[in-house]
Amino acid sequence: MVVATLGISLPEVRQSLSLSAVEAGSLFSVIFIVAAIVSPISGRLSDKIGRKAVLVMGISALSLGFALSGLSRTYPAMLALLGCAGLGYGFTTPFLYALMSDLLPARRGLGASLVSVAYGIGGALGSVLSSAIISRAGWRAAFLAAGVIGTAIAGLELLRLRSVRKREAIRHHEPYRKVLSPTLVLLGLAEFFGGSVFWSSASWTATVLRTAKELSLSETGFVM
C-alpha cells in the first residue's frame, strides 16, 4: 500500500516539492536501498528479541516514516523520512514469510501463498484508496492515511499475533560462505531482475497513465 500510494501521488509530490525526474525516482530507490541493507541485520535481531517483535517494529517504522514524509516541505526531509520507512520495510517483508512458516510449519507453501495474496490485494486496494483520498484531500492526507492504517495493523499484531516459542524458532547459523551457494546466488539474481523490472514499472506507471494517457486519478487507481 505504501509504494502504491507513493506511485499514485508522484505527480502531486513532484509539483509540491519541485522535484526533478531523478529526485522523484530516488524517493522509491531510498526505500528499497535501505530495506536491502537492513534485511540481513534484522535476521540477527530476530534471534535475540523474536520475530514478532521485529515485525511489529518494522511495520511501526514503515508507517511512521511514511506518514511523516507526508508532512515534508523539502526534498532532503522527505528522502530521510522515506529512508526510515525503508528501514521498516526491510524489517517487515522477510519476516512475514518467515513468521508464517513458523506458524504453519507443516504447510509452509500455503503460508507463503497467503502472504503473497495479501500483498497483492493490499497493493490493489491501496491504489484505489489513495487515489480517492488524493482527489479529495491531497497527497499529504493519503500519506497520513496509509500511516494510520499501518499503525493500526502494528497495534493489532502486537496484541493478537501469537509468538513462536523459542524452542520452535531454533535456527542453525551457517557461515555466509556456505549459505551463498551458486544455486542461491542464481536465485538471488533472478529475484533481483524480477524486482528491478516490477518496481521500476510500478513506480512510474501511475505517472505515465496520468500524463501520457491523461487518465484521471480514480481511473489510474483502478488500473493500478
What residues does each domain of the chain span? 2-223
- The share of the chain scoring above pLDDT 90, in percent, equals 32
Each residue's pLDDT tens digit, 24-52: 989 999 998 998 898 888 877 877 888 88
Number of residues that make up the chain: 224
**For helices 21-49 and 2-17, what crossing angle results, to 10°?**
140
Taking the domain 2-223, which CATH number applies?
A: 1.20.1250.20
Write down the pTM of the prediction.
Answer: 0.79
Instruction: Please give the pLDDT value at position 167.
Output: 45
Q: What is the mean pLDDT of residues 15-21?
A: 93
Q: What is the mean pLDDT of residues 61-71?
A: 95
